[in-house]
């Protein structure tokens, strides 16, 4: 083994030790979230349909992205791409895709995030997954590319929602729209495809109704 490879191995070992220590230290400081924190991000969180006019600054959107980006994806593929629709012109373009009942929900929100995924995510793997070249797993395999991009981009969209709630924002995800229209308006000539929309801001809770039922554990879970 050459001195250069020895140096590389030592550096990798040091990075692994640092990563392991970070996880251990975090678990010691915070073994689990308290009940209020879990309520905020999931248990008592709601999908909102009406919004106050309080703005959402760019800095908060950047903070949400940084949290979202830390979430796991297969082989660190990170296929999600986001367009933040905030201008009147952008909202007019997005409104073309929406079912009529969803237009007001989107237009009243300070921000609507288009959660999309890039079908050329795999070309970035030398940067995202430097351990070995995994591009041959995807090159020339459109069905595998689409499935991987959609699955992991959806995961990242869910991370985005939880991150936004964790930072004090309210969210209202929407699927009542035409993906084809969104793709034509915002992603024409690119390798990006839309997945779903997330309205984002500070909600007007007066529009809420009771929380809908959920299945019990034994209704949907089993052991094998």
In this prediction, residue 2 carries a pLDDT of: 56
How many degrees, rounded to 5, is the angle at CA 116 between CA 112 and CA 122?
155
Please name every residue paired with 173 in a beta bridge, in sequence order, or none if there are none.
Answer: 198
- Per-residue tokens: 114: 């288009």
pLDDT in tens, 187-207: 999 999 999 999 999 999 999
For residue 50 the two structure tokens come to 């009406």
Percent of the chain surpassing pLDDT 90 = 92
Res 5: pLDDT? 58
* Band of pLDDT at residue 9, cut at 50, 70 and 90: confident
Summary mean pLDDT of the chain: 95
What proportion of the chain, given as a percentage, has pLDDT over 70? 97
Residue 1 has pLDDT above 80, yes or no: no
Query: HSE on the CB side for 95, CA within 13 Å?
Result: 16
User: What per-residue confidence (pLDDT) applies to 218?
Assistant: 98
For residue 106, pLDDT beyond 60: yes
CA atoms within 13 A on the CB side of 109: 29
Please compute the mean of the pLDDT values over residues 13-40 and round it to a whole number. Answer: 94
Does pLDDT of 30 surpass 60?
yes
Cα-flanking dihedrals φ and ψ of residue 74, to 5°?
Answer: -65, 130
pTM over 0.75: yes
Q: Which helix (H) or strand (E) holds 80?
A: strand 80-85
With a cut of 70, say whether residue 4 has pLDDT above it.
no
DSSP 37-78: HHIIIIIS--B---B-S----HHHHHHHHHHHHTS--GGG--
């Amino acid at each position: 083994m050459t001195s250069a490879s020895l140096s590389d191995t030592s550096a990798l070992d040091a990075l692994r030790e640092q990563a392991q220590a970070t996880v251990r230290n975090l678990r010691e400081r915070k073994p689990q979230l308290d009940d209020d924190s879990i309520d905020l991000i999931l248990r008592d969180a709601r999908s909102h349909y009406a919004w106050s006019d309080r703005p959402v600054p760019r800095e908060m959107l950047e903070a949400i992205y940084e949290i979202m980006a830390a979430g796991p994806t297969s082989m660190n593929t990170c296929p999600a791409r986001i367009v933040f629709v905030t201008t009147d012109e952008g909202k007019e373009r997005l409104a073309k895709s929406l079912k009529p009942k969803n237009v007001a929900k989107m237009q009243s929100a300070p921000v609507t995030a288009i959660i999309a995924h890039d079908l050329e995510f795999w070309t970035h793997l030398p940067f995202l997954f430097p351990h070995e070249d995994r591009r041959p797993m995807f090159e020339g395999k459109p069905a595998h590319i689409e499935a991987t991009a959609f699955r992991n981009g959806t995961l990242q969209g869910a991370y985005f929602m939880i991150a936004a709630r964790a930072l004090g924002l309210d969210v209202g995800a929407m699927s009542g729209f035409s993906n084809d229209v969104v793709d034509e308006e915002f992603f024409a000539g690119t390798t990006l495809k839309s997945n779903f929309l997330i309205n984002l801001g500070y909600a007007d809770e007066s529009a809420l109704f009771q929380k809908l039922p959920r299945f019990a554990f034994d209704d949907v879970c089993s052991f094998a």
